Structure 1
Amino acid sequence: MPRTADHDRRRAQIADAVYDLIAADGLAAVTVARTADRAGMSVGLVQHYFPAKDDMLLHAFERVGAAVAARVAGLVDEGARHERSIAAILGAALAEHLPLDARRRAEFRVTRTFAGRALENPRLAGVDARASAALRDEVARAVANGFECGEVDPATDPALAAVRLAAATEGLATALYRDPEERDRALEVLRAEVGAVFTGACGQYRR
């Protein structure tokens, strides 16, 4: 029997094929036949791993989420090594959700397509809701950490601040996808939104 690694590799190939098709031509371009052709495998094998189109879309969405999470984790580690403020690290992390380049534009299209499909599918809606909640939780933790180092006013509600910053990021992502020329302005607005929450100076690296 094929090893687990083989199954994982095939699922990844299929998810990447779905990602490429959506990024290029939208969800309508995703058919089992086109996905199989793009992935370099048979239609039967694709259907073996993903019986329905929504199953393929879900896996592609999860792959995008994992890629963004890995980049954010790298930014956090790098920020800590270079003793950057929590505000600076959070701003860089949120910017990973903006379609600032070709890769992130493609990721945005996949996540936006998934969110649209989730309106019609309760199972996908649950995954979409949990992904949004996870982002807010991460932002809320950053705000709470900001209390410790003096960057955030202790009177600030982390949950409300997280909703604000997550909503601002989502709105900026949509606006930037429509008009890529607004890249600099979108980043300026994001910095302003983060700065409105992180109003103090970072004291965690003081010797």
Structure 2
Amino acid sequence: MPRTADHEERRRQIADAVSKLITAHGLDAVTVARTAATAGMSVGLVQHYFRTKDEMLLHAFREISGSIRARVDERIRDGVEHQRPIARVMAEVMTEYIPLDEARRAEYRVTRAFAGRALGAPALAAVDTETARKLREGIADAVHNGKECGEVDEGVEPLPAALRLAAMMEGLALQVYREPEADAEATVTPFVAPLLEAELAVVFTGKCRQYAR
């Protein structure tokens, strides 16, 4: 049976409720009853869409991943349209994964909860692994494109470079998240852009021939 718009909207509402509970109270607060109350639905209706807590968490994670991906795609389209260097576009893309504001902190909290839950749940672990792999592949593609246009030296291997950049980005995101939101702007936030740019400059050492004037 095809899914209707109403069906998808209810699934989104449940995912939003899961995200709100995790953001405010942590993963332990997520139960079917609390999720139903937060979403303004009956317990029976929530169970109609998701039988278990893991199913709800997986859907919330996918919703957030899709939202981040949409913002990343928009950054890339804008970069191509305005002929920005790949390194600059990558810096903008990577900031979407850094919890620099309230919305991204909420997203990060859910993704961290998902990763923690995945340690003991093979089905969730498979999704977590695939998500990380796609991120690395996306960065590797950017490095490969950089080699094509002259921003990256021919001797640079895309995958090791992508591993380095992904590891740096994920570590930086954790450091930013650990800082209380009220203090972050005065402590770690000012260093995010310079650190990303410095790390990207190690890989993207040249200038793009494609946009040469």
The two structures have a TM-score, normalised by structure 2, of 0.94
* Letter in structure 2 aligned against 1:82: H
What is aligned with 1:185?
191
Counterparts of 1:61-72 in structure 2 under 5 Å? 61-72=61-72
Structure-2 residue corresponding to 1:205? 211
- 2:136 pairs with 1:136: yes
Aligned equivalents of 2:92 and 2:125: distance in 1? Answer: 27
1:13: Cα distance to partner?
0.6
Shift of 1:83: 1.2
> 1:169-189: CA deviations, max 9, x gaps?
100000000122301112221
Letter in 2 for 1:190: L
Work out which of the residue numbers 191, 194, 197 in structure 1 matches 2:200: 194
For residues 191 and 44 of structure 1, the distance between their equivalents in structure 2, rounded to whole angstroms, comes to 50
- The residue number in structure 2 matching 1:57 is 57
Cα 1:83/1:40, change in 2 over 3 Å: same
Cα RMSD for the two superposed structures: 1.3
Aligned to 1:79: 79
Q: Aligned partners of 2:3 and 2:139: how far apart in 1?
A: 38
Calculate the TM-score normalised by the size of structure 1.
Answer: 0.97
1:29 aligns with 2:29: yes
Distance 1:178 1:3, change over 3 A: closer
What is the distance in 2 between the residues matched to 1:25 and 1:184?
Answer: 28
- Aligned-pair CA distance for 1:2: 9.6
Q: Distance in 2 between matches of 1:68 and 1:173?
A: 14
Secondary structure of the residue aligned to 1:57 is: helix
- Return the letter of the residue paired with 1:67: S
* CA displacement at 1:134 relative to structure 2: 0.3
Which residue identity is paired with 1:141? D
Which residue does the alignment assign to 1:151?
151
Identity %: 56
- Paired residues in the alignment total 207
Tell me, which stretches of 5 or more residues in structure 2 are unaligned? Answer: none
Partner residue in 2 for 1:14: 14
Q: What is the match of residue 164 of structure 1?
A: 164
Deviations 1:154-176 (A, max 9, x none): 10000000100001010000000
Runs of 4+ in structure 1 over 6 Å off: none
Gaps of 5+ in 1: none
Aligned-residue offset at 1:82? 1.4
C-alpha separation in 1, matches of 2:25 and 2:202 = 38
